[in-house]
Amino acid sequence: MVYMTFAEEKGKAKKMDSLRRDGLLHAKRIESTPEYMRKLFIMPNSSDRFVEFGEHLLDMIHDFFQDKGGIHSEVSLKELARIFNNIDMPKEPKLIRDVLDEIKNGVIRHSVKVANPYYIGHMTSAIPYFMILLEMIAVSLNQNQVKIESAKASSFVEREFICWMHRLVYHNPSQFYKKNIQNQRIALGNITSDGTIANMTALSLAMAKAFPPDGANFDGVRNEGLHRALEHFGFRQAVVLVSKRGHYSICKAGTLLGIGAKGVVFSPVHPYTNKIDIEKLWQTIEKIKKEDKRLGKPTKFMAVVGVAGTTETGNVDDLGDLAEVAHELGAHYHIDAAWGGGALLMEGGRSLLKGISRGDSVSLDAHKLLYSPNSMGICLFKDMEDSRYLYHTSNYIIRKGSVDQGRFTLEGSRPFACLKPWAALKIIGRQGFELIFDHARELQNTFMDLIQQDPEFELMNQPELFIINYRFVPHELRGELDHLMLEPKQHVEKITMINNLINDLNVELHKKIRERDTSFVSRTRIESTRYAPRKTVVLRAITVNPNTEKRMLAQILEEHRTLGDRIWQNKNLLQKTLHMYKRLMVI
């Protein structure tokens, strides 16, 4: 069999000069034959062939990282739509080099530089360079984790990694883990595509436990469905309780499990700290029970969800108090630690996430604070026997009596994703992760101090896990607002009007930050500030990029102040402000 090297492709590319017509370059046509198709699929005899292609690929990636342009390319969304507007599927094959060039110019060139140290707006950040190598290994092996027949060694790696995570969260004795690390009868947890599927797994488990087989007239909710389950057990509805800072994936799970979005009950949080208000949660529960009494049927509290690292504000619920609520209700207690779970590796992480070991299930994301590429979730089970509630088999794979991981997972085919965090823990080590988190904490505290020392910015949350909410407030409005907040009940309308103006100002500021494109923070709208229950627009910074330096945070805030002042001096906005003040004089 003869293979075309990269050098040969490169040579052919040079010959394409002779294919110019009307000054345009036309790619050489390749004949699609069985022999050519075999060349694409059969591994080359020499690793040199891969090295040649690999060097070109790595050069493309290196150029992307070294590019001195903005965080986002200047291309508009409309222009991107025009670039990728071919409605016809390609019919004839192309040279690999030609397609790589298309990827370079159309995809890589217009991708977001999430590793940029001035990109502090989302949980996606820089990853270790060796992740590229690990990704290449995982793709090359192409293991399918659903079954031992397609994932031999990798199935054992996956179980080892899950054991590490389970021990990190639950701290069982060493003997427990020695016995069960490779216990193929059960699962300590699951690897999932992402945090959404991890939460879905946990709530599927909660439903199966809430409506189990009775050994007589009911074969369990997994077989008979929710409607039959409610009817059999005499409940009018099943609900999940979570704070208003709960992730939207909880609501997704509700729609998929049949309880509906309305079956996910969001309870208020404390202003500023964003922790669930336990007293108001009990009020919510009592309100539901009162309605139960009126309708003559009880509600099944299927699950209580605690949040260890809220997506918008980075705060942690009182996990121990929520465990007591779940216990009293007889509900499954799930902890969504997709963001915060990795912080257990840092010094002080266990005290910050106090009570996490009381969760019947805990979800984490490797692509967040374990610094792995997108995406991989983890769902851990406190009681390993709970994995049996998810057990299923098939005749052609995951047969009864097999040792396949897929017996306990919602997903079927899965890649060898855990290779990356498994190897990262070996390469970086717990001590290395502690240093990374120390840096993130220093950045968090630095940015907080910068905001609090600047009269034109207002800190809007109490950061715990590297997420800072803040907003730009012109000093003229800040003084007035602070004065009104001394007696907020006496100045409800005035405070609302000023806040609405500041909301508009920060929306416009965020747009200008995007347009300038030398830094990036995100934006959200929350009600849990000192101005509650008003919804307040806040800017959102996340300080987990190991390449970000303290001086950069000062530069970012200075840029925001400059842009904010410029917007504030805008003629149209001033006219709006004058109109508002005229209204205030009347009130």
What pLDDT is attached to residue 445? 98
Confirm whether 505 is domain-assigned. yes
Residue 204 tokens, joined: 């599927």
DSSP state of 27: P
pLDDT, tens digit, for every residue of 95-140? 888 898 999 999 999 999 999 999 999 999 999 999 999 999 999 9
CATH number of the domain that 507 lies in? 3.90.1150.170
When divided into structural domains, the chain yields a total of 3
- Cα–Cα distance, 114 to 24 (Å, whole number): 35
Confirm whether 166 is domain-assigned. no
Q: Is 50 exceeded by the pLDDT of residue 338?
A: yes
Of 92, 113, 134, which residue is a domain's last?
113
pLDDT range class, residue 89, cuts 50, 70, 90? very high
Cα first-last separation, the chain:
87
pLDDT, tens digit, for every residue of 360-396? 999 999 999 999 999 999 999 999 999 999 998 887 7
Strands (E), 140-188: none
Look at residues 116, 125, 128 and name the one whose alpha carbon lies nearest to residue 556. 116
Q: Is 80 exceeded by the pLDDT of residue 293?
A: yes
What pLDDT is attached to residue 402? 86
Q: Is 90 exceeded by the pLDDT of residue 341?
A: yes
Same domain, 243 and 382: yes
Confirm whether 149 is domain-assigned. no
What pLDDT is attached to residue 578? 59
Would you state the torsion angle of the CA atoms of residues 498, 504, 508, 511, taken in this order, to the nearest 10 degrees? 130
A 10 A CB-CB count for 416 gives: 23
What percentage of the chain has pLDDT greater than the value 90?
80
Same domain, 384 and 455: no
Confirm whether 478 is domain-assigned. yes
What pLDDT is attached to residue 63? 86
Same domain, 436 and 541: yes
Q: Which of 99-103, 223-227, 393-397, 559-563 has the lowest mean pLDDT?
A: 393-397
What pLDDT is attached to residue 587? 54
What pLDDT is attached to residue 96? 86
pLDDT, tens digit, for every residue of 517-558? 999 999 999 999 999 999 999 999 999 999 999 999 999 999
CA distances 233 to 220, 230, 317, Å, are: 11, 5, 32
Mean pLDDT of 156-184: 98
Same domain, 215 and 105: no
What pLDDT is attached to residue 577? 64
Q: What is the DSSP string of 32-63?
A: --HHHHHHHHSPPS-HHHHHHHHHHHHHHHHH
Q: Are 365 and 378 in contact (CB under 8 A)?
A: yes
Sheet holding 299-307, edge to edge: 189-192, 377-381, 361-365, 332-336, 299-307, 237-243, 264-267
pLDDT range class, residue 573, cuts 50, 70, 90? low
Same domain, 473 and 548: yes
Look at residues 300, 317, 190, 189 and name the one whose alpha carbon lies nearest to residue 246. 317
Same domain, 383 and 295: yes
Same domain, 454 and 334: no
pLDDT range class, residue 289, cuts 50, 70, 90? very high
Q: Is 50 exceeded by the pLDDT of residue 209?
A: yes
- Cα–Cα distance, 147 to 159 (Å, whole number): 13
Kind plus residue range of the DSSP H or E element containing 282: helix 278-295
Same domain, 452 and 521: yes
What percentage of the chain has pLDDT greater than the value 70?
91
Of 85, 113, 141, which residue is a domain's last?
113
Mean pLDDT of 504-517: 96
Contacts of 41 (CB under 8 A, 6+ apart): none
pLDDT range class, residue 320, cuts 50, 70, 90? very high
Same domain, 441 and 378: no
Same domain, 468 and 567: yes
The better pLDDT of the pair 28, 236 is held by 236
- Cα–Cα distance, 4 to 159 (Å, whole number): 40
Strands (E), 142-289: 189-192, 237-243, 264-267
Residues of the domain holding 278: 191-391
Mean pLDDT of 60-73: 86
Same domain, 212 and 99: no
According to DSSP, the β-strands at 361-365 and 332-336 are parallel
Confirm whether 549 is domain-assigned. yes
Mean pLDDT of 479-505: 94
Confirm whether 254 is domain-assigned. yes
Of 113, 137, 167, which residue is a domain's last?
113
Mean pLDDT of 473-489: 93
Within 331-418, where are the H helices?
349-352
Q: Is the backbone of residue 215 left (phi > 0), alpha (psi -120 to 50) or beta?
A: left
Confirm whether 422 is domain-assigned. no
pLDDT range class, residue 572, cuts 50, 70, 90? low
Residue 132 tokens, joined: 């590229």
pLDDT, tens digit, for every residue of 393-439? 887 777 778 899 999 999 999 999 999 999 999 999 999 999 999 99
Confirm whether 297 is domain-assigned. yes
CATH number of the domain that 308 lies in? 3.40.640.10
What pLDDT is attached to residue 30? 82
Same domain, 251 and 317: yes
pLDDT range class, residue 574, cuts 50, 70, 90? low
